[in-house]
Structure 1
Amino acid sequence: MLHKWPLHQLDVKNAFLNGNLSETVFMEQPPGFINAKFPSHVCHLKKALYSLKQAPRAWFQRLSTFLFQIGFSCSRADPSLFVYKPNSCVLYLLVYVDDIILIGNDDAMIRRFITRLHHEFVIKDLGKLSYFLGLEVTYTSTGLFLSQAKYAHDILTRTKLLDAKPMPTPLATAKNFTTQGTLYSDPTYYCSLVGTLQYLTITHPDISYAVNQVIQFLHAPTIAHFQSVKRIIRYVKGTLAYGLTFSHSPSPSILGYSDTDWARCIETRRSTYGYSIFLGGNLVSWSAKKQPTVARSSCESEYRALANTGAEIIWIMHLLRELHVLPPDRPTILCDNKSALFFSQNPISHKRSKHIDIDYHFVCELIAAGRLHTTFVPTTLQVAIIFTKSLPRPQFESFRTKLRVSPPALCLRGVLEIKIDKDLKRSHDLLN
């Protein structure tokens, strides 16, 4: 939304039936359409059908071939993204199975493209993007507001927690998870709930750390783990209307925060790391994960987190370059560990660093080449800390605000249009 271009949503009807099969596939004659003269014959399929394992690949091949023919190019960073840029005109097309989002700077070119797409496939023009894969899009005077209020409401309805008292934070302060305890009686239900919460993190990055913790026990959840999941859902109850705000930025730059909680897991002693990456002040990427190996020092765990953050930033830069909106300034990573920063800027080989995998040293190369910059940030301003540990309520709310996770802003459009669901308002009042 850097240029305030309009977003269009399209839907392809019977998308999988458009795919042409390159393999030899036979099918039994369907009931009601059996040839009386040749009842034992089979059908040789020329086009894909639903439930055929080749159907998704065949459909995407058909669509991408059509887009290539009219001048689109496929992104290397994201194969579901296509870019059209003949001259000053720019069009971006993002496809997810049969759902398409189209954005560009030329309305006339967009209309011509949609008309041409109509001639090739059966397309339903859904107009301005408002609801996409559970994400609700609200347009503001400065940009976009993304939320999953309906999806979150469905979770509460399913778990029968609509009338539960909301919690101020997803997890209790200094909460530690272990495998000890009485096993939960329905692990399938536990896995299902955690999976729905994981999808909710698309617009609720504030629950990413909590979801990462409970997702580590899918194989054998305990009653304590299930209680933690219920606490997360009760937190969601109080933040149903919350979402991510994206606003216009005249001079966007890439800024990343990297942090770890050394040896957080008391059983495996593996560290939890997290990062948050902003583009023009808008949160575009974040993560909360457990490191795959044990770090022998906090410096090592922080340095590994720097490497992961750097890798994500490089991917974002590749994507922005293909979108022709790469910022001129080099990206910056902020870290609160001075030893890790020193090691990233001064790759000196000595006894204290021999154990660090050589794969992580590419951060030094990026810094030496001038493609990346690292600098120190105090822990009190370390935004990524919300992805590495459970925080007290004041700190949690402060960092949540810095992530730009908040309720929708009230706005005036001709007449006052404020429609707040009674359940959402009551939950917000209880929480505050």
Structure 2
Amino acid sequence: MGELTFFLGLQVKQLKDEIFISQTKYTKDLMKKFGSLLYLTASRPDITFIVGVCARFQSEPKESHMTTAKRILRYLKGWQEVGLWYPKDGGFKLIGYPDSDYAGCTDDRKSTGGHCIMLGGNLLTWSSKKQSVVSRSSVESEYRALTDTNADIIWLHSLLAELGIKTESPSLIWCDNQSATALAANPVFHARTKHVEIDVHFIREKVLAKEIDVGFVPSEDQITDLLTKVVSAPRFQYLCQQLPLGRLPQSPAPD
């Protein structure tokens, strides 16, 4: 059948040392007629956060949400050929980046949590969703995101093992909250954290078993900011490059 070039709306370009995955055709079709922005997030983490925010108001949309949706479409029209790069020989270590926007929703003060998981330098999974309960501190919201990241890493370990791919151990999780990082290493409970004790023990168990290692990363290096909050244009472009998200060399840049 030859090389894989198209699968479930995903276009696959196989080059000598890397693979490029995009949804350019799907994006162009979406520009011409009604389509689903949610499905486009399968290859476009750059719009995952804002599409998720709009999706919260599908049952009772207002004019402001329509304005935002049109702005997303204008952005996509200028960047239709953008996709994810998967370079060869990136390594076999799972690396997670959890993050949260503490009490970011002004309607109910729930936090938006998200994470990216990479195999070497290749982006495997990403997530952005509003947390189900209100967090009483930034430590709690960050720790919930950290726990979700660890759960996905466990699942990926199992999936890759079934495919015959041996991953390096321990997996690494980079967290930009010093209190959450310290709590993973030394679970000392107090009034701010005792109500998330189960999550703490879950992470601590994996740390002691040397299945994961939780490290601190400065906020400016936290690539999951793209999935949890609104950022400035220069930082948005920087985070896209870190994923790495870009276009094929022959694709012209928009005016």
Per-residue CA deviations over 1:115-166 (Å, capped at 9, x if unaligned) read xxxxxxxxxxx4321111111111111121111111000111116xxxxxxx
1:316 matched to 2:191: no
Aligned twin of 1:345: 185
Shift, 1:356, TM fit: 1.6
1:402 matched to 2:214: no
RMSD: 1.4
Per-residue CA deviations over 1:78-105 (Å, capped at 9, x if unaligned) read xxxxxxxxxxxxxxxxxxxxxxxxxxxx
- Which runs of no fewer than 5 residues in structure 1 stay unpaired? 1-125, 160-192, 411-419
Shift, 1:357, TM fit: 5.2
How many angstroms apart in 2 are the aligned matches of 1:290 and 1:402? 24
Aligned twin of 1:67: none
How many angstroms apart in 1 are the aligned matches of 2:63 and 2:153? 39
How many angstroms apart in 1 are the aligned matches of 2:124 and 2:168? 18
Pick closer, same or farther for the CA change 1:311–1:240 going to 2, 3 Å. same
Aligned twin of 1:144: 19
1:256 matched to 2:96: yes
How many angstroms apart in 2 are the aligned matches of 1:250 and 1:197? 30
AA aligned to 1:384 is T
Aligned twin of 1:381: 221
AA aligned to 2:69 is V
Shift, 1:254, TM fit: 1.1
Higher relative contact order (CA 8 A, sep 6+): 2
Identity of aligned residues (%): 40
Aligned twin of 2:86: 246
How many angstroms apart in 2 are the aligned matches of 1:389 and 1:342? 24
Is contact 2:136-2:192 (8 Å) kept? no
Is contact 1:304-1:360 (8 Å) kept? no
Aligned twin of 2:145: 305
Aligned twin of 1:235: 75
Pick closer, same or farther for the CA change 1:135–1:375 going to 2, 3 Å. same
Q: How many residues align?
A: 255
Pick closer, same or farther for the CA change 1:149–1:250 going to 2, 3 Å. closer
Shift, 1:373, TM fit: 0.4
Is contact 2:22-2:83 (8 Å) kept? yes
How many angstroms apart in 1 are the aligned matches of 2:153 and 2:65? 33
Shift, 1:277, TM fit: 0.7
Structure-to-structure mapping, 1:257-276, within 5 angstroms:
257-276=97-116
1:288 matched to 2:128: yes
Aligned twin of 1:38: none
Secondary structure of the structure 1 residue equivalent to 2:170: coil
How many angstroms apart in 2 are the aligned matches of 1:351 and 1:130? 54
Is contact 1:334-1:377 (8 Å) kept? yes
What is the TM-score when the length of structure 1 is the normalising length? 0.57
How many angstroms apart in 2 are the aligned matches of 1:358 and 1:429? 49
AA aligned to 1:345 is A
Secondary structure of the structure 2 residue equivalent to 1:219: coil
Shift, 1:253, TM fit: 1.2
1:222 matched to 2:62: yes
Aligned twin of 2:231: 391
* Residue number among 353, 356, 368 corresponding to 2:196 in the alignment: 356
1:156 matched to 2:31: yes
Q: Which of the pair has more CA radius of gyration?
A: 1
Is contact 2:94-2:168 (8 Å) kept? no
Per-residue CA deviations over 1:381-418 (Å, capped at 9, x if unaligned) read 000111011111100000011011100134xxxxxxxx
Is contact 1:299-1:340 (8 Å) kept? yes
Per-residue CA deviations over 1:207-262 (Å, capped at 9, x if unaligned) read 00011100000110001001111111111111101101111116321111111000
Per-residue CA deviations over 1:300-353 (Å, capped at 9, x if unaligned) read 000111000000011111111112212233110001100011111111233232
Secondary structure of the structure 2 residue equivalent to 1:313: helix
Aligned twin of 1:130: 5
